[in-house]
A and B are shown apart, each in its own frame.
Chain A
Amino acid sequence: MLRRDALAAVFPDLEREGTVVVTIMGAVAAELQDVGHRPNFFYLQHAMGLASSLGLGIALSRPELRVIVFDGDGSLLMNLGGLTTLARYRPKNLIHVVFDNESLLSVGGFPTATGTGSDLARIALAAGVPSANTVRSLDEFKRAFADALAAGDLTTLVAKVEAVGPKAFVTDLSLLENRYQFQRHLTTLKP
Chain B
Amino acid sequence: MPVSAAASQLIYDSLRASGVRIISALPETWLVHLIRLADDDPEMTLVRLAKEEEGVGISMGAHLAGVKSAMLMQNHGFLAAVNGVVSGAQLYRIPLLMLISARGSFGERDPWQTEGGLVTEHVLDSLRIPRICLDSASEVARTINHAQTLAYSSSRPVAILLGRRLMWEEQ
* Nearest neighbor of A60 in chain B, beta-carbon distance: B45
The minimal Cβ–Cβ distance linking A94 to chain B, given in whole angstroms, is: 10
A46, A50, A57, A85: which contacts B69 (Cβ < 8 A)? A57
A58 to B61, CA, bound (A): 5
A65 to B45, CA, bound (A): 17
B45, B48, B84, B93: which contacts A50 (Cβ < 8 A)? B84
Q: In this assembly, does B1 line the interface, its C-beta being within 8 Å of a C-beta of chain A?
A: no
**Contacting pair B88 A60 (CB below 8 A):** no
**Contacting pair A54 B61 (CB below 8 A):** yes
| Contact residues in B for A53 (Cβ distance below 8 Å) | 53-58, 60-61
CB-CB contacts of A25-68 with B at 8 A, as 1s and 0s?
A: 00000000000000000101111111111111111111001000
| Contact residues in B for A56 (Cβ distance below 8 Å) | 47, 54, 57-58, 61
With contact pairs A42-B64, A51-B57, A186-B66 given, residues A85 and B47 touching in the complex (Cβ less than 8 Å) = yes
Q: In this assembly, does A179 line the interface, its C-beta being within 8 Å of a C-beta of chain B?
A: yes
A102 to B121, CA, bound (A): 39
A108 to B50, CA, bound (A): 30
Q: In this assembly, does A79 line the interface, its C-beta being within 8 Å of a C-beta of chain B?
A: yes
**Contacting pair A179 B58 (CB below 8 A):** no
The minimal Cβ–Cβ distance linking A66 to chain B, given in whole angstroms, is: 13
Q: In this assembly, does A72 line the interface, its C-beta being within 8 Å of a C-beta of chain B?
A: no
| Contact residues in B for A84 (Cβ distance below 8 Å) | 50
Given contacts A47-B84, A85-B49, 8 further A-B contacts (CB under 8 A): A42-B64, A57-B62, A58-B64, A58-B65, A60-B47, A61-B22, A79-B51, A183-B66
- Taking Cβ atoms with an 8 Å cutoff, the residues of A that contact B are 22, 42, 44-62, 65, 79, 81-82, 84-85, 88-89, 175-176, 179, 182-183, 186-187
Q: List 24 A-B contacts (CB under 8 A).
A: A46-B87, A46-B88, A47-B88, A47-B91, A48-B83, A48-B87, A50-B88, A53-B55, A53-B56, A54-B57, A54-B60, A54-B64, A56-B54, A56-B57, A56-B61, A58-B61, A60-B47, A62-B65, A81-B49, A81-B51, A85-B47, A175-B91, A175-B92, A187-B66
